[in-house]
Structure 1
């Protein structure tokens, strides 16, 4: 009877995916045990005893190569470090991994999200469209960029990291995070958004299972995932449109005014949050603001940077003395505006750890605020961005030394950047934004994408290294460390929302957010990888670990889909504890299966 219900779900899924509907009754759960690492896998070096042979193996084996990253961690550990010093390497790599997770959150939230928000504002997207696209992409940026880094990695086994992370994060968020929200504040769920998101999420996970069962992802299916999200967007917009019409009719009957939901993303955000706490029919995970999207604006206000920042003004207003250098330093100082007295020690430590990556990003990523009351313009700093941003992009993309004619690409970008910097200097002033300032938001978007992608690549490579060193599959590393690291922000944000009285929005995010990450995290990077690989499909392994992982996620979603309506959509502390217990049972089973202790 061990794990009977998940195995029953697995039996039905395997039968449907294979198309053999007559074998449902005959199915016996003989799951394919994850085999020992093949000779082609990097972790198979453990069968070797001689250090010279080990170094030769990791230098030549395709699975040990890390072309997308900047450091070959496995080669350094096994070729340049004495065996007795490996524990120190573990500590060093572990510390570096923690810092990379902090850097990933910093680049995504402090630079990528503000660029997304400004673009949504600049394109005059409505709240509905922006919520389903820009806000969702901004909040899921760490997961999606990690998936892009894994699927597009030249290492053939790296796709396991992405599969493990996307599905593992789904199990984590729908159990641990959702359970924590329910324990924090008992409440009643918004029925329509909850059922819609769970149904779509179940369908996406089942589709993923079918792809895993077949052992590959082709272009047709990767594009199908993206099309499936388009269908979801249409369903959401139609549902909100119909609901808005009903509310408008009810408001007309009651003689009250119906709030308008078609205004811009920024102008109506506070009203949206207020309405979402009062009306369950308007509760949606897509109604959340981009996580940390206002950090740039808050920093500017905390530092006192506004349109009145000057040294002195004559009484007639004719003469202004402006300190350009102090403005530049205030904009690039990563610790300026921090209220150290009000912060606890852990948050102080995080601020200090974020400082180096923030400083480098501020030098290379233009951040443009969509708030007209925030004056983040500096002619001097913008001219520096004109040179530094393209230079960073060309080196981050590893094309700096590609020659165009007789000139390397970095020199062409340097000349072009210096030319644009000169034009900006001649056509603008230090005191006010030029009309073309919005262009730098798109430059910042490209630079922040590259920053986030580079950091995500290093995380994926480090996790692959740890997996090889401790002889654990990439899927296990993805469903644990990568899933946990990328879900920390969701946990903090959703529990905070619950404490603020927005528990319905938080619980909706626990199902809608992972659905978006899964559907885009597979559809987008797989499409990119397949196209760049001349149309060849992505090969993926389907071992006992993947089977337990996907069946557990299906069971978790099906459990909530059945039990929550039976409980009349009431989320209580007891139900939250039950969700957490599901994860506590699932995690050791999948890990023990991955390290061959449990045999199926």
Structure 2
């Protein structure tokens, strides 16, 4: 055990040094700016140093601008560790200031890559593991955990904007939420329709649109009737979300029971020898044998929120294509995302076109139940046979491993052999293989290079249920995860009482205890019984810590851009923050459509922003209002345009579905693009005060 003690001492020393470095860092302190009203003799009153918004007068000198930012850190800075506004405005050399702004923009791009990577590669797999462990049904998982997985960047950006500073940046949060909603319901949905015309999942789509319009109507009511947010307003959003989840659950139970009754009825008819095939809509139902042999498909609602980053998708697409070539001559299931389903949304033996050949709208509505039965006849009972991860739908247990990290397996037997170092290295490896890298597109290669360092730290701090058991990595997690958790929520130096060391030292004590227990009681190579389940929950918590910390830094950089350019927080929220979070949605949804699941993509384009709006507004604003923070509801021109054009996009889609008899086509997409372009024109006019509302 000599080497074992040496290893523990090394890890402990490393953690102690890192924590000491954190301890020496001077974190932003709210109290230290209380006397800045006379900073360097500048004539700032107490009111000017308690500004709700960071409003810098262009006539001020550089010293006055710097002093104003220092005494208004709550409004001029975000909630991150780096005070970008101060770095830029307090730098008097123009060349250096430009370099700092460029570095800030580069840093912002890297932060978006980090956000996408942690959400896609760690947060979503953790949620998937939790859903599997809790044995949740598709409908419940789709509107709770999986929706949270898809909307995590937007939700946590809203939380960071509202809760990380004493003065909430509600305008930035609302701009992000509304901007995401408009962009996804117009541009993203239009791209989906341009990619492929298809018949929508009628009842789920109408349900989401109706709840979306109810939510928007309530927001408009609050803006018109009240001048500040009361605690019951965001709490009502959480209530609407609860009703939405309950509606999904009840409808899912109803459909399940209805299909069981219909199946029993068909079985009875076959047993009685009375099965016939009349010339009607029912004539296209599969025969009994086909009902029993269900197609390996994924349901419309199942895991539709599992949308992930472009680079990971391309990597797994390449792997899957290579795997498919080797499996073409094998039996069993094949990767449905890359075969015949590419060109057809309706699987073979499910011809339903005759149902919609009637000429009356009433007949169309009467056939909805028959349609639902046919569309869903192969969806149930297959949950154990598909995995939807990294943009690729796998329908075989043998191919599920394509969605996980490829790690060379090493059978460890003793600490005396240095094989454990190689095993730890393999688990911390954060770069693709040379073969994968050569096959990537140029932009994807850039993203892969950017992700090398962040992914290394992700693996060092975030337990992943996709990786095999590695005892050295678990011991490393005992130290690194606890320290980073304290660092991410900015309490690592908090002292529980006077004369006490910071929480980082207490964390080290807890880490040492856990590491010793693991060292003496956990096997070196044998995976524990509940390893995947425990790592799913731990990975979920640590992923949240990373997303939260990253969101804080994003808000800080975006705030700096607003201070430098003079653009409003609403405009920055609905452009930079909203559009950056939607890039992954575009790639993901198009990929899902091309894999043969356009209904899933449409569900994500409507249900995803709905979840973000309900939870992204309801959760942080409820907490802020409960804390006594005052948040004004000023219905300025930007907010008017955001709500107006979001309503126009939703109503347009709602009406267009009925006009097109629930089959979306390219004219619908053209109208949505026109709405978004018009929205941008009006937003620019309002931002530069060309358009004034009376």
TM-score scaled by length of structure 2: 0.72
SS in 2 for 1:138: helix
- 1:368-412, CA deviations, whole angstroms, 9 ceiling, x for partnerless residues? 23xxxxx61100010110111101111222212222353321111
Tell me, in whole angstroms, the C-alpha distance in 1 between the residues paired with 2:104 and 2:124. 28
The residue aligned with 2:238 is 226
Q: How far apart are 1:153 and its partner, in Å? A: 3.1
The residue aligned with 2:147 is 136
CA contact (8 A) 1:66 1:155 kept: no
The residue aligned with 1:323 is 419
Q: Does 1:387 align with 2:479?
A: yes
Q: How far apart are 1:304 and its partner, in Å? A: 4.0
Seen in structure 2, the aligned counterparts of structure 1 residues 62 and 347 have a Cα distance that, compared at 3 Å, is closer
SS in 2 for 1:404: coil
CA contact (8 A) 2:178 2:643 kept: yes
Which runs of structure 2 are paired with 1:484-499 in the superposition (5 Å)?
484-499=579-594
| Bigger Cα displacement from structure 2, 519-528 vs 432-441 | 432-441
CA contact (8 A) 2:143 2:245 kept: yes
What are structure 1's unaligned runs of at least 5 residues? 1-36, 314-319, 370-374
The residue aligned with 2:668 is 575
What are structure 2's unaligned runs of at least 5 residues? 1-47, 268-287, 307-332, 351-370, 394-399
The residue aligned with 1:400 is 492
The residue aligned with 1:292 is 390
Q: Does 1:349 align with 2:361?
A: no
Counterpart of 1:454 (choices 549, 557, 561) is 549
SS in 2 for 1:47: coil
- 1:577-600, CA deviations, whole angstroms, 9 ceiling, x for partnerless residues? 221111111112112202212233
The residue aligned with 1:26 is none
Tell me, in whole angstroms, the C-alpha distance in 2 between the residues paired with 1:383 and 1:84. 47
Tell me, in whole angstroms, the C-alpha distance in 2 between the residues paired with 1:193 and 1:88. 50
Seen in structure 2, the aligned counterparts of structure 1 residues 508 and 440 have a Cα distance that, compared at 3 Å, is closer
Counterpart of 1:376 (choices 463, 468, 476) is 468
Q: How far apart are 1:231 and its partner, in Å? A: 0.5
- 1:315-347, CA deviations, whole angstroms, 9 ceiling, x for partnerless residues? xxxxx9892222211111111446112211111
CA contact (8 A) 1:135 1:290 kept: no
| Bigger Cα displacement from structure 2, 55-64 vs 487-496 | 55-64
- 1:481-508, CA deviations, whole angstroms, 9 ceiling, x for partnerless residues? 1110111111111111111111111112
Counterpart of 1:170 (choices 181, 184, 189) is 181
The residue aligned with 1:302 is 406
The residue aligned with 1:365 is 462
Tell me, in whole angstroms, the C-alpha distance in 1 between the residues paired with 2:579 and 2:96. 28
Matched length: 542
Q: CA RMSD in A?
A: 3.2
Counterpart of 1:244 (choices 229, 252, 256) is 256
CA contact (8 A) 2:51 2:75 kept: no
Which aligned runs of 4 or more in structure 1 are off by greater than 4 angstroms? 257-262, 269-280, 287-291, 293-297
Tell me, in whole angstroms, the C-alpha distance in 2 between the residues paired with 1:272 and 1:236. 27
Q: Does 1:68 align with 2:79?
A: yes
Q: How far apart are 1:42 and its partner, in Å? A: 5.2
Q: Does 1:207 align with 2:218?
A: yes
Q: How far apart are 1:293 and its partner, in Å? A: 8.9
The residue aligned with 2:163 is 152
Q: Does 1:559 align with 2:652?
A: yes
Tell me, in whole angstroms, the C-alpha distance in 2 between the residues paired with 1:100 and 1:418. 32
SS in 1 for 2:464: coil
Seen in structure 2, the aligned counterparts of structure 1 residues 363 and 38 have a Cα distance that, compared at 3 Å, is closer
Q: How far apart are 1:361 and its partner, in Å? A: 1.1
| Bigger Cα displacement from structure 2, 193-202 vs 576-585 | 576-585
Which protein shows a greater Rg?
2
TM-score scaled by length of structure 1: 0.83
SS in 1 for 2:60: coil
Q: How far apart are 1:301 and its partner, in Å? A: 5.4
Seen in structure 2, the aligned counterparts of structure 1 residues 299 and 184 have a Cα distance that, compared at 3 Å, is closer
SS in 1 for 2:625: helix
The residue aligned with 2:683 is 590
Which runs of structure 2 are paired with 1:78-157 in the superposition (5 Å)?
78-154=89-165, 156=167
Tell me, in whole angstroms, the C-alpha distance in 2 between the residues paired with 1:597 and 1:87. 29
Tell me, in whole angstroms, the C-alpha distance in 2 between the residues paired with 1:215 and 1:501. 47
Seen in structure 2, the aligned counterparts of structure 1 residues 291 and 191 have a Cα distance that, compared at 3 Å, is same
Seen in structure 2, the aligned counterparts of structure 1 residues 185 and 294 have a Cα distance that, compared at 3 Å, is closer
The residue aligned with 1:483 is 578
| Bigger Cα displacement from structure 2, 273-282 vs 548-557 | 273-282
Q: How far apart are 1:428 and its partner, in Å? A: 1.4
Tell me, in whole angstroms, the C-alpha distance in 2 between the residues paired with 1:69 and 1:125. 36
CA contact (8 A) 2:478 2:511 kept: yes
CA contact (8 A) 1:302 1:337 kept: no
